[in-house]
Amino acid sequence: MDLQLYFDPVDFEYFQNRKKFSRQVLGYYIERATRGIKDGGTGKAVAALVGVPHETGSHNKGTSRAPQEIRRYLYGLANFDTSLKIIDLGDLKPGKNPQDLYFALRDVTDYLSESGIVTMVLGGSQDLSIGIARAFSHHEEFTMTIADARVDLKSHREPSGANNFITKILRENPALFHLSMLGIQQHYVSPSVFEFLKQNTFDSIQLGDFREDHYLAEPLLRNSHFLSFDISSVKKSDAPGHTNPSPNGFYSEEACLIARYAGLSHRLMAFGLFEVNPSADKTGATGELAAQMVWYFLDGVIRRRKEDPAGNKAAFTRYFVEIEEHGEPLVFYYQPPTNRWWLEIFPEEGKSWIVACRESDYKQAISKEIPDICWKYVRKTNRLSK
């Protein structure tokens, strides 16, 4: 696959302000890695930036300028002390309609992930998640996390767009293994939507719960293949660059923390940062925050440890917890160096799932209570088998 056919290249000189990048900044590092691409290949890259300078299905007009704005700040951030390559593929060429962009994102994300390269999509509206999700539709356990103040489902007949893109993803992936909503605000979400998420055994972490315990997000992202982040989920004072910002939301530090958790997850192969609108961002604070989120995501990627009990159970400390009403013992796995936990669930004879969990789930089990995550995945088995 010749990736260069999909992209307009980055004009690095535009971002250098008539001077060459110093060796201390990320722009120097990315520029040289990008110019080293030959014959449409990606070499030994670990992550690739993809800009989408096009307006699609959103009322938040101005997002087409986001890739350029984010790069302007990103390239000036500190370099990483690593030999791993990060490349910038450039900006996706325009299609005749949003569907063309969806298919292009599907092709590019699928190719990169199959090559072991993490895709970072910058700019555009959140409906671009439809195209990225298509790249993972063949994964039996496709899992995605959406960071948003709202749950973008269709409430009536309307064309697909940023306000209802989840509906289309669910229709195209009826066997979607798991969906996690992170940072939703109750005053924006109707009780019927919360009930829908519950009935489908999806996670919904409200903003207040996340603020009380930031680590709630880590196992969700460790299980995920794709994080779709709506910048409007960050509070207005920290990210005003949106036509409809909210006075409540993530703090900027929390947004960077979420990005880093996502980067550290060896399963996560795509990160989309959407709805950044420079036209509504007089101070440039939103573009600068978006760049810092990308930096922290990349910092996580280059520090990844491939920890997976499914691949090598002997490398983990294993705990068997007997709970009388459950029958079979619950099996937990623990990795001391990173303080990470997993739970093995047996949905049917001869088959098991190993999912990321928290230490609190283990402590609940040794207190003779079945953890909520266990009930959720048992119900998920029944739902997916129908």
Q: Which domains does the chain have, with CATH numbers?
A: 3-302 (3.40.800.10), 313-384 (no CATH)
Q: Mean pLDDT for the chain?
A: 90
Provide the pLDDT for residue 83.
Answer: 79
| Mean pLDDT of the region 10-31 | 87
Provide the pLDDT for residue 100.
Answer: 93
Query: How would residue 38 be classed by pLDDT, with cut points 50, 70 and 90?
Result: low
Whether residue 2 is predicted with pLDDT greater than 90 in this model: the reply is no
Query: How would residue 287 be classed by pLDDT, with cut points 50, 70 and 90?
Result: very high
Q: Mind spelling out the 3-state secondary structure of the chain?
A: CCHHHHEECCCHHHHCCCCCCCCCEHHHHHHHHHHCCCCCCCCCEEEEEEECCCCCCCCCCCHHHHHHHHHHHHCCCECCCCCCEEEEEEEECCCCCHHHHHHHHHHHHHHHHHCCCEEEEECCCHHHHHHHHHCCCCCCCCEEEEECCCCCCCCCCCCCCCCCHHHHHHHHCCCCCEEEEEEECHHHCCHHHHHHHHHCCCEEEEHHHHHHCHHHHHHHHHHCCEEEEEHHHECCCCCCCCCCCCCCCECHHHHHHHHHHHHHCCCCCEEEEECCCHHHCCCCHHHHHHHHHHHHHHHHHHCCCCCCCCCCHHHCEEEEECCHHHCCCEEEEEECCCCEEEEEEEEECCEEEEEEECHHHHHHHHCCCCCHHHHHHHHHHHHHCC
Find the range with the poorest average confidence among 33-37, 73-77, 155-159.
Answer: 155-159
Whether residue 227 is predicted with pLDDT greater than 60 in this model: the reply is yes
Provide the pLDDT for residue 57.
Answer: 76
Query: How would residue 42 be classed by pLDDT, with cut points 50, 70 and 90?
Result: low
Provide the pLDDT for residue 301.
Answer: 96
Whether residue 386 is predicted with pLDDT greater than 70 in this model: the reply is no
Whether residue 327 is predicted with pLDDT greater than 70 in this model: the reply is no
Provide the pLDDT for residue 21.
Answer: 87
Query: How would residue 69 be classed by pLDDT, with cut points 50, 70 and 90?
Result: very high
239-280 pLDDT, tens digit each: 999 999 999 999 999 999 999 999 999 999 999 999 999 999
Distances (CA, A) of 136 to 49, 140, 181: 18, 9, 18
Query: How would residue 346 be classed by pLDDT, with cut points 50, 70 and 90?
Result: confident
Residues contacting 229, CB < 8 A, separation 6+:
146, 147, 148, 255, 258, 259, 271, 272, 273, 274, 293
Query: How would residue 39 be classed by pLDDT, with cut points 50, 70 and 90?
Result: low
| Mean pLDDT of the region 165-186 | 92
Find the range with the poorest average confidence among 272-276, 301-305, 325-329, 332-336.
Answer: 325-329
Residue type, 91: D
Whether residue 385 is predicted with pLDDT greater than 80 in this model: the reply is no
296 vs 33, higher pLDDT: 296
Query: How would residue 384 be classed by pLDDT, with cut points 50, 70 and 90?
Result: low
Whether residue 36 is predicted with pLDDT greater than 90 in this model: the reply is no
